[in-house]
Amino acid sequence: MELKNDLFLRTAKGEKTERPPVWLMRQAGRILPQYRKLRASLSGFKELVETPHLAAEVTIQPVDELDVDAAIIFSDILVIPEVMGLEYKMVEKVGPRFPETISGMDDVNRLISGKNAADELEYVYEALRITKRELNDRVPLIGFSGAPWTLLSYMVEGGGSKTFSKAKKFLYTQPEAAHALLDKLTETIIIYLKNKIAAGADLVQIFDSWAGILSPEQYNEFSLPYIRKICEAIDEAPVTVFAKGAWFAMENMGDLPCQVIGLDWNTKPSFARRILGEKRVVQGNLDPCLLYAPHDEIRKHTLEMVNVFGGHHIVNLGHGVYPDTPLDGVKCFVDTVKSL
């Protein structure tokens, strides 16, 4: 079946389009009253992630409510560490916690990886198949994974952190174990993304959410080579790489064999264009907090950004939308782009 709205995919593939497509990272989530209602009726976040027809339902909610140009499968990046052998808990109002963490080579050696791990995530693939069917080709469906470094940081740290100093210490003090873990993650992520594409994902995005805490040298050694390996292995669908805080690596990002580069809100659009060139497809990058502002401001900044990027651009925020963002601010942002 042909997609009814393929603006997002055509832009990702480098075509010139009538207007830029728009969607929001974390659009499937707490900004929507229908999400909050469903979520309140369940035992927790993981029940939603692990029940395919419910994950499909919340994936489609923002397409119905906001009329965005793409859907992103409802899931979490932490399903990969879990299936490799480190169970996670999502603690209400706190965030993810790993009761067991990785502290050395012995722990790394115990992890399951590659096909043996990735093929266990059948509930994710089933959610994609259901979503694809129920979306009925209205818009493309995005699949995703955490980048190896970002997943390593949770597995070593045991949860979120301001500094991620434990994870960084691991890189400095046990580089061999770090590389072994990154290899295992990379192997698993490649199969996982291929499985997601086979189950219906039209594009896959890699989230390197903690790129920005590494030094440029560490980023070049412990993150980029693994992202490159993933990009090189995926040729079944376009790939977006979103590395938050990695403006210092912009030149190297530009050389990645991926179709789209995601930009965070600290990156000046003119700077990104200067480094990446006019033709590189970019995604982003309004400050999520702008959506709290008066609508005139939202419109003004959105139009300014679209103007500076000047095409080959997928409109999005510079990181996930915050849960308490007013829905009318989100709608103003989407409608501004859709009226172009």
Radius of gyration of the chain (CA): 19
Residue 68: helix, strand or coil by DSSP? Answer: coil
Give least dist CB 224 to ligand CP3, A.
Answer: 17
- 76 lines the binding site for ligand CP3 (CB under 6 A): yes
* Tokens matching residue 226: 């693994």
Catalytic residue among 30, 228, 273, 299: 30
Q: Which is nearer to ligand CP3, 77 or 286 (CB)?
A: 77
Minimum CB–partner distance for residue 307 and ligand CP3 (Å): 26
| 95 belongs to the binding site for ligand CP3 (CB under 6 A) | yes
Q: How far apart are CA 81 and CA 6, in angstroms?
A: 33
Report yes or no: 310 and 269 within 8 Å, Cβ to Cβ. no
Q: How far apart are CA 199 and CA 201, in angstroms?
A: 6
Considering Cα of 12, then 119, then 175, then 99, what sign does the dihedral take? Answer: positive
Active site residue 154: yes
Residue 207, interface with ligand CP3 (CB under 6 A)? yes
Closest by CA position to 80, among listed 244, 207, 179, 178: 207
- Residue 39 as a binder of ligand CP3 (CB under 6 A): the answer is yes
| DSSP strand pairing (260-262 vs 239-243) | parallel
User: Catalytic: 69?
Assistant: no
Q: How far apart are CA 69 and CA 116, in angstroms?
A: 34
Active-site hit among 35, 88, 125, 154: 154
Q: What is the distance, to the nearest Å, from the Cα of residue 142 to the centroid of all Cα atoms in its chain? A: 9
Residue nearer to ligand CP3 on the CB measure, 39 or 179: 39
By CB under 6 A, is residue 33 in contact with ligand CP3? no
Q: Determine the interface stretch with ligand CP3 among 27-35, 165-173, 267-275, 297-305 (rule: CB under 6 A).
A: 27-35
Q: Specify whether 76 is catalytic.
A: yes
83, two tokens: 């299936």
Binding status of residue 72 toward ligand CP3 by CB under 6 A: yes
User: Is there binding between residue 209 and ligand CP3 (CB under 6 A)?
Assistant: yes
Specify whether 202 is catalytic.
no
* Site for ligand CP3, rule CB under 6 A: 25-30, 39, 45, 72, 74, 76-78, 90, 95-96, 144, 160, 207, 209, 320
The residues that are catalytic are 26, 30, 39, 76, 154
